[in-house]
């Protein structure tokens, strides 16, 4: 970034800066929103970022000046401030790479994938140049070579309710996309690209290192970003674009503003195909800006349809989308796809994907838009409570995709084969069922497949099973209440669980203790079922006669796993009679005995297959005298295929 540009930018934003340097009052009057459909600020706006950045498309470098005004609403004086510097994850000795290689020792970080961010200078208004006070820290694993978090100690504390202003000059070197951010030929995804302050949360700074399996956590505020880059670039970014100015040196400077968001991402590529459309929601018209790869122009309709159908259901079921725009990016590199940023998402698409195969773009676009609710607005801690964003989002994804495409058809409806998202999510959970609790910090799972299986798959399955206990409509009201109550804040898992208990009017602790905090596995089986004629002891018993011979029928139901959940058992007899038993599941087994002039035909646990947490559905039934081998074989093969598909799906998000 040239000095003149920095100067111009700083002058342009002087009014806001001037207020901040003199410790602006937290009660200052905000200008009317331009990036949201609301009439006043939606969040507490702890942070105000003003960034002027120049991107060199040849070198894939970025030089910028960031002016961050931070309001100290922590309730106490603060003199230490931590920042994320996440591009440094793409270095061989980082904690991110250490964790990548823990599961797959063949993963390499070739030179082209390396990336870095360097703070050139850091000043604090009224306190001078504190660059020498920058210290890298590794709060999660103590790795002295990890440079993804730094902190700075101020010479004097910032009083409670006062503001502090940081002025940071930094330099980024992007690498080819390894995960989420970087370039591929002339495509660039600018994510995790600027020093981002941590969150004061639950009485301490929360500023985790960049891990292989975790995402992000930041405070709400405003972003004023000026991005200078070559004139031929087509650009998408968080927030809304306010201005475009052509510069004499062949560059242009675009001005963006984001309000009530907690991160800012951008992308550029000269060959993006732009499609503009809109969605009319309960707060007004939202612009949908679609940036497609040039060979995916024929995918525009699929993207727009899934966006509009998804936004409609979120609006009606859970609450309004209050921003004026959502930008949907179809990235040139899959590894930058399937990501969420405030008001900007990345999907994935393939030109050859048949319409009946809905993993791309439908499933992934729906999922990433869902994160506008479960991450961007309800901004939970993705490091510590990952199930609250990924898992809750996987559940709402199941509900919304089912509603759009029909039950059992949300992943695939092709050549007579169907697959539902419910099954896909459940299948990803099965191999990891007893490894990690949902409440585990995301970077502490035994493996990344367990993280994916539990955080996404188990949470979705836990909530689908909760429908059995409190009802589908009640759970919808729970989620609506949770969204409206906690949007633009940082709730915890207990906030969600308490909302569920309050809205349903039921004590659910017994369920959450097992499902959320525990690793108990749920598995019920029909252990034994038979009918035995009562007159077996006669020396010459009469021939069995339907409706005449009396049988003693017993059905043994066994709780194989440690997860206790009430179940229904339906027992059918050959006289057409059907008995439904309700078992609380508390003992290890139960035996039902009947004496009737009828013989057992079948015994079935959970006949509607509502208890999807049950790890093995094959042992839930007994069927008399039916050759079930062939049928089960087909089912087994299909299960295997769907598990494979589910794994693919799990990696998308």
Residue nearest to Zn ion (CB): 653
94 vs 455 by CB, closer to Zn ion: 455
- Cα–Cα distance, 638 to 153 (Å, whole number): 58
Least distance to Zn ion, CB of residue 21, Å: 39
Q: What angle do CA 636, 638, 644 make, to 5 degrees?
A: 105
Burial (CB < 10 A; 0-12, 13-18, 19+), residue 522, is buried
Question: Which residues lie across from 114 on neighbouring strands?
Answer: none
User: What is the Cα–Cα distance from 389 to 412, expressed in whole angstroms?
Assistant: 25
Nearer to Zn ion, 327 or 531 (CB): 327
- Whether residue 398 contacts residue 464, with contact meaning beta carbons closer than 8 Å, is answered with yes
Residues at the site binding Zn ion, with contacts judged by CB under 5 A: 390, 653
User: Which class for 576: exposed (0-12), middle (13-18), buried (19 or more C-beta within 10 A)?
Assistant: exposed
Please, which residue, 229 or 653, has the CB nearer to Zn ion? 653
Report in angstroms how near the CB of residue 332 gets to Zn ion at its nearest: 21
Nearer to Zn ion, 376 or 603 (CB): 376
Q: How far is the CB of 122 from Zn ion (least distance, A)?
A: 33
Task: Round to whole Å and give the CA distance between 507 and 564.
Answer: 15
Place of tokens 């063949």: 106
> Which of 394, 520 has the CB closer to Zn ion?
394
Token pair of 268 as six digits: 């550029």
- Cis amide prior to 653 (ω within 30 degrees): no
How far is Cα 397 from Cα 310, in angstroms, rounded to an integer? Answer: 9
CA 114, distance to chain mean position in Å, is: 26
Q: H or E element: which one contains 635?
A: helix 629-650
Q: Are strands 47-56 and 221-230 parallel, antiparallel or unpaired?
A: parallel
- Calculate the CA 355 to chain-centre distance: 25
Residue with Cβ nearer Zn ion (324 or 440): 440
* Residues sharing a CB contact under 8 Å with residue 606, sequence separation 6 or more, in sequence order: 524, 567, 568, 614, 620
Nearest to Zn ion of 63, 263 (CB atom): 263
| Residue 99 or 390 with smaller CB distance to Zn ion | 390
CB of 17 or CB of 376, closer to Zn ion: 376
In the complex, least distance from residue 401 CB atom to Zn ion, rounded to whole angstroms: 14
Instruction: Give per-residue burial for 334-364: e unless 16+ CB within 10 Å, then b.
Output: bbbbbbbbbbbbbbbbeeebeeebbbbbbbb
Minimum distance, C-beta of residue 56 to Zn ion, in the bound complex (Å) = 31
If the CB atoms of residues 236 and 337 are measured against Zn ion, the closer one turns out to be 337
CB of 374 to Zn ion, least distance (A): 8
CB of 504 to Zn ion, least distance (A): 26
Q: Which is nearer to Zn ion, 16 or 460 (CB)?
A: 460
Nearest approach, Cβ of residue 442 and Zn ion (Å): 12
Q: How far is the CB of 390 from Zn ion (least distance, A)?
A: 5
Helix (H) or strand (E) holding 96: helix 95-103
Provide, rounded to whole angstroms, the least separation between the CB of residue 404 and Zn ion.
18
Give 100 or 390: the residue with its C-beta nearer to Zn ion.
Answer: 390
Contact 574, 594 (CB under 8 A): no
CB nearer to Zn ion: give 206 or 346: 346
Tell me if 443 sits within 8 A of 211, measured CB to CB: yes
Which residues lie below 8 Å from residue 7, measured CB to CB, with a gap of 6+? Answer: none
**Could you tell me which of 145, 125, 123, 143 has the C-alpha nearest to residue 133?**
123
Residue 652 CB, shortest distance to Zn ion, in Å, is 8
In whole angstroms, what separates CA 324 from the centre of its chain?
22
Q: Which residues contact 399 (CB under 8 A, 6 or more apart)?
A: 313, 317, 476
State the angle between helix axes of 459-470 and 472-486 in degrees (0 to 180), rounded to the nearest 10.
120
Minimum Å distance from CB 455 to Zn ion? 9
For the CB of residue 653, give the shortest distance to Zn ion in the complex, in Å: 3
What residues are paired with 569 via a beta bridge? 581, 605
What phi, psi does 321 have (nearest 5°)?
A: -95, 110
CB closer to Zn ion, 390 vs 614 = 390
Minimum CB separation from Zn ion for residue 641, in Å? 23
> What is the DSSP code string of 520-581?
PPP-EEEEEEEEEETTTTSSSPPPP-TTTS-EEEEEEEEE-SS----EEEEEEETTS-EEEE
Comparison of 263 and 390: residue with beta carbon closer to Zn ion: 390
CB of 375 to Zn ion, least distance (A): 8
């Amino acid at each position: 970034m040239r000095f003149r540009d920095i100067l111009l930018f700083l002058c342009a934003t002087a009014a806001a800066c001037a207020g901040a340097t003199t410790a602006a009052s937290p009660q200052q009057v905000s200008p009317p929103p331009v990036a949201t459909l609301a009439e006043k600020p939606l969040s507490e706006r702890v942070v105000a970022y003003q960034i002027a950045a120049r991107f060199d498309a040849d070198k894939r470098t970025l030089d910028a000046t960031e002016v961050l005004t931070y309001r100290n609403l922590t309730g106490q004086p603060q003199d230490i401030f931590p920042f994320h510097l996440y591009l440094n994850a793409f270095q061989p000795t980082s904690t991110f790479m250490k964790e990548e290689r823990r599961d797959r020792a063949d993963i390499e970080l070739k030179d082209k994938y390396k990336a870095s961010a360097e703070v050139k200078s850091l000043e604090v208004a009224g306190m001078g140049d504190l660059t020498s006070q920058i210290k890298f820290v590794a709060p999660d694993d103590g790795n002295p070579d990890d440079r993804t978090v730094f902190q700075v100690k101020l010479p004097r504390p910032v009083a409670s309710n006062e503001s502090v202003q940081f002025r940071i000059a930094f330099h980024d070197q992007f690498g080819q996309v390894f995960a989420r951010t970087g370039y591929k030929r002339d495509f660039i995804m600018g994510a995790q690209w600027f020093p981002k302050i941590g969150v004061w949360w639950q009485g301490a700074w929360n500023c985790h290192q960049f891990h292989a399996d975790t995402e992000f956590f930041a405070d709400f505020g405003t972003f004023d970003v000026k991005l200078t880059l070559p004139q031929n670039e087509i650009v998408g970014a968080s927030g809304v674009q306010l201005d475009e100015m052509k510069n004499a040196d062949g560059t242009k400077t675009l001005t963006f503003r984001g309000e009530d968001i907690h991160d800012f991402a951008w992308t550029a590529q000269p060959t993006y195909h732009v499609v503009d459309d809109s969605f009319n929601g309960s707060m007004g018209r939202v612009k949908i800006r679609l940036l497609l790869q040039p060979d995916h122009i024929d995918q525009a309709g699929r993207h727009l349809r899934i966006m509009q159908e998804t936004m409609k259901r979120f609006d009606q079921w859970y609450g309004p989308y209050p921003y004026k725009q959502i930008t949907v990016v179809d990235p040139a590199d899959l590894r930058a796809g399937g990501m969420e940023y405030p008001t900007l998402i990345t999907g994935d698409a393939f030109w050859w994907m048949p319409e009946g195969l809905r993993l791309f773009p439908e499933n992934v676009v729906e999922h990433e838009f869902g994160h506008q609710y479960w991450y961007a607005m309800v901004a939970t801690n993705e490091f510590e409570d990952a199930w609250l964003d990924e898992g809750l989002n996987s559940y709402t994804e199941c509900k919304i995709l089912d509603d759009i495409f029909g039950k059992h058809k949300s992943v695939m409806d092709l050549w007579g084969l169907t697959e539902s998202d419910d099954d896909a999510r459940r299948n990803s959970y099965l191999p990891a069922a007893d490894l990690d609790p949902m409440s585990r910090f995301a970077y502490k799972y035994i493996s990344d497949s367990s993280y994916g299986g539990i955080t996404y798959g188990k949470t979705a399955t836990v909530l689908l099973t909760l429908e059995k206990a409190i009802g589908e409509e009640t759970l919808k009201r729970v989620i609506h209440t949770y969204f409206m109550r906690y949007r633009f804040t940082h709730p915890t898992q207990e906030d969600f669980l308490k909302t569920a208990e309050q809205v349903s009017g039921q004590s659910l602790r017994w369920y959450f203790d097992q499902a959320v905090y525990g690793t108990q596995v749920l598995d019920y089986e029909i252990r034994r079922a038979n009918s035995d004629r009562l007159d077996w002891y006669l020396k010459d018993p009469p021939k069995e006669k339907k409706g005449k011979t009396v049988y003693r029928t017993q059905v043994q139901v066994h709780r194989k796993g440690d997860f206790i959940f009430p179940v229904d058992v339906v027992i059918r007899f050959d006289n057409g009679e059907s008995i439904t038993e309700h078992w609380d599941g508390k003992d290890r087994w139960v035996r039902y005995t009947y004496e009737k002039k009828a013989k057992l035909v079948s015994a079935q646990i959970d006949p509607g297959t509502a208890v999807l947490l049950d790890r093995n559905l094959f042992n839930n039934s007994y069927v008399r005298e039916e050759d079930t081998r062939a049928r089960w074989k087909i089912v087994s093969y299909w299960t295997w295929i769907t598990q494979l598909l589910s794994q693919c799906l799990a990696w998308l998000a």
